[in-house]
Amino acid sequence: MLTANNITVRIGAKTLLDGVSLALHPGEVLAVIGPNGAGKSTLLRAMSGELTPFSGTIVMNGRPLPEWQPRQTARMRGVLPQNSALAFRFKVLEVVLMGRSPYRKTHTRDRNETIARQALQLTDTGHLAERIYTTLSGGERQRVQLARVLAQIWEPYGELQCYLLLDEPTSALDLAHQHAVLAIARRFADSQSAGVLAILHDLNLAALYADRIAVLHQGRLMSVGTPNRVLISELIQQIFDYPVTIGRHPLYPDCPLLIPHIPRAGGPESWIA
């Protein structure tokens, strides 16, 4: 399990996270939602080890995160940030092979390349393997970076669980690839018992793919639970300051469907469904 235990993160006098506790379980997809500035990316960066909390602890597979060696951490935890800047003219296959860096001393070049190509195929980017990365579109780059992260945790690390942390993985993607990426995350959780944490802005995508949803607001954890428990109109109105009606998905009746109200001239008091 990957756990944030009562963590507080501060930058100067500003508190970005305030006493947040959240557990990512093996085999689950956990979506983190909330308005801009709620602390979602800060939480992901803390749970990945990029940020050190002012107080509280991050525990991965039973040990505080700082106690793991970097190579061990790299084999158990893959992180896809919002933006993965890369200005060098590497081929796409070379970019994905970067995810195999922790295995250079334990796996052959052929084995690492085989896994990199499998990750490219899984993200529908196999045909781009020989392309120069900097010539790709934003959506193609996002999927290639996902392939790199998947290649990093492609194989189990002994009996220890692996974790995939995704910061707005669908932000640069069209409709088909939004669903493809989250279906990959869902499959990774199901097939490898990996814990997947994904920061999402689309609440209906969160409802479709997540086992649980955590809601952040102003650095605090407001609610966590199943989509049916968390996605209620009163909470969404409170957190996002926008009215919605909660319906049922026509294809998946157990899944809530958020229907935003349409603003009319005259301000919020005249919003209609």
Q: What is the pLDDT along the chain (273 residues), one digit of tens a residue?
A: 999 999 999 988 899 999 999 999 999 999 999 999 999 999 999 999 999 999 999 999 999 999 999 999 999 999 998 877 777 789 999 999 999 999 988 999 999 999 999 999 999 899 999 999 999 988 888 899 999 999 999 988 888 899 999 999 988 788 988 998 899 899 889 988 899 999 999 999 999 999 999 999 999 999 999 999 999 999 999 999 999 999 999 999 999 999 998 876 555 555 554
pLDDT of residue 33: 97
User: What domains can be seen in the chain, in order of their start residue?
Assistant: 2-270 (3.40.50.300)
For residues 86, 91, 92 and 97, what is the CA-based torsion angle, rounded to 10 degrees?
A: -90
Give exposure, 133-155, as e/b (b: 16+ Cβ within 10 Å): beebeebbbbbbbbbbbbbbbbe
- In this prediction, residue 262 carries a pLDDT of 84
Dist CA 104 CA 70 (whole Å):
14
What is the pLDDT at residue 23?
97
Assign 3-class secondary structure to 44-108.
Answer: HHHHHCCCCCCEEEEEECCEEHHHCCHHHHHHHEEEECCCCCCCCCCEHHHHHHHHHHHHCCCCC
This prediction has a pTM of 0.90
Measure the CA–CA gap between 65 and 146, rounded to whole angstroms.
23
